[in-house]
Amino acid sequence: MTVSREFLAGLPKAELHVHHVGSATPRIVAELAARHPNSPVPADPVALAEYFTFTDFAKFIEVYLTVVDLVSTPDDVRLLTYEVAREMAAQNIRYSELTVTPYTSAQRGIAPEAFCEAIEDARTAAEKELGVTLRWIFDIPGESGIPAAVETARIATEIRPDGLVGFGLGGPEIGVPRPQFAPYFDAARAVGLHSVPHAGETTGPATIWDSLRDLKAERIGHGTSATQDPALVDYLGEHRIPLEVSPTSNLATQAVRSYDEHPIRAMVDAGLVVTINSDDPPMFGTTLVNEYAVVADLLGLDAQGIAEYARTAVRVSFADDSTKTTLLTEIDDYVTNNA
């Protein structure tokens, strides 16, 4: 069974695991690099493709942080955010929960209030002008430790921009135990934010257990190693905790060795809730449309089958009921007319 790229491109989609800076396409990065000519990041899109070549997760983080350095003013933040929404609109991504790391911008001299104002300005413009609804998940960069957790929780609970719906934890997993962040997730949940940490991508099932028990995770970012533990699979299935799966990202960071070895088939066969995501798409040479194509191929799905993954992403999102109803109707209408 095959699904055409044309169908996948037009399918209304929601994306739940995609990073703010990591969504900067070569076009956007080149524009930012031209603003900051002293950066090591090349402004030439061809050179950028080579620059975005990773040998492992540590190399990815190194490159990622050099791109973060390009976003050094509120105007840069606004430009990045709006242009990411423009790229989403081109794929008919109608709703996205964008993982944003305000701490790294604060470390580079952008006041958190100005940062939040910039993303909010871009969010409202994107919804009005591009038809893309953005929401925020503020994440702790794990490599920066407790100071980052303190400040991220403060920004999330005290400034709390209107589009903020979740609280997360990203960055390296190795050497960054999850339980230490429990008080900051507790504070975020106390003001109504959802818990959505990364876990089990470059570490084993224990990191996922820690995220569930200590951080009260409602979704798991990646969860690639979940199927290694039958008890964990049972727990995730019983509690219907979604996994945010990004196949090409997992290959790029060497979390898995090939598409054929990706555990998504085992996840689905076990009855787990799976969503399809692109993570840091330009850096990994992918798009959400491409990830849908990859999953359709890996699971042998037809148009009706892959459309159900689009519906799942909407259902397990943190969108309000009205937005969910609208998007689900759009998906149903699209499939009726195009499948």
Q: What is the pLDDT of residues 126-143, one digit of tens each?
A: 999 999 999 999 999 999
pLDDT digits 0-9 by tens, 285-305 = 899 999 999 999 999 999 999
Q: What is the CATH number of the domain that holds 32?
A: 3.20.20.140
- What is the DSSP-derived secondary structure letter of residue 285? T
Q: Is 90 exceeded by the pLDDT of residue 284? A: no
- Mean of pLDDT values over 49-76: 81
pLDDT of residue 237: 98
Q: Token pair of 292, please?
A: 């849908």
Q: Which helix (H) or strand (E) holds 250?
A: helix 247-252
Q: Is 90 exceeded by the pLDDT of residue 63? A: no
Domain range enclosing 36: 5-338
Is residue 221 a contact partner of residue 258, using CB atoms and an 8 Å limit?
no
Q: Is 201 a catalytic residue?
A: yes
Mean pLDDT computed over every residue of the chain: 94
Total number of domains constituting the chain: 1
Regarding predicted confidence, which is higher, 32 or 11?
11
Strand, coil or helix: what is 221? strand
- 1 falls in which pLDDT band (50, 70, 90)? low
pLDDT digits 0-9 by tens, 197-232 = 999 999 999 999 999 999 999 999 999 999 999 999
Q: Which residues are within 8 A (CB) of 38 and not within 5 positions of it... i.e. 6 or more apart?
A: none
Q: Check 87, 151, 201, 291 and give the catalytic one.
A: 201
Q: Is 90 exceeded by the pLDDT of residue 65? A: no
Is residue 33 a contact partner of residue 333, using CB atoms and an 8 Å limit?
no
Q: Could you tell me which residues are beta bridge partners of residue 134?
A: 96
Give the DSSP per-residue string, 138-195.
EEEEGGGHHHHHHHHHHIIIII--TTEEEEEEES--TT--SGGGHHHHHHHHHTTPEE
Is residue 27 a contact partner of residue 45, using CB atoms and an 8 Å limit?
yes
Q: Is 70 exceeded by the pLDDT of residue 33? A: yes
Strand, coil or helix: what is 279? strand
Percent of the chain whose pLDDT exceeds 70: 99
Regarding predicted confidence, which is higher, 157 or 54?
157
Name the burial class of residue 190, with classes exposed (0-12), middle (13-18) and buried (19+) by CB atoms within 10 angstroms of its CB: exposed
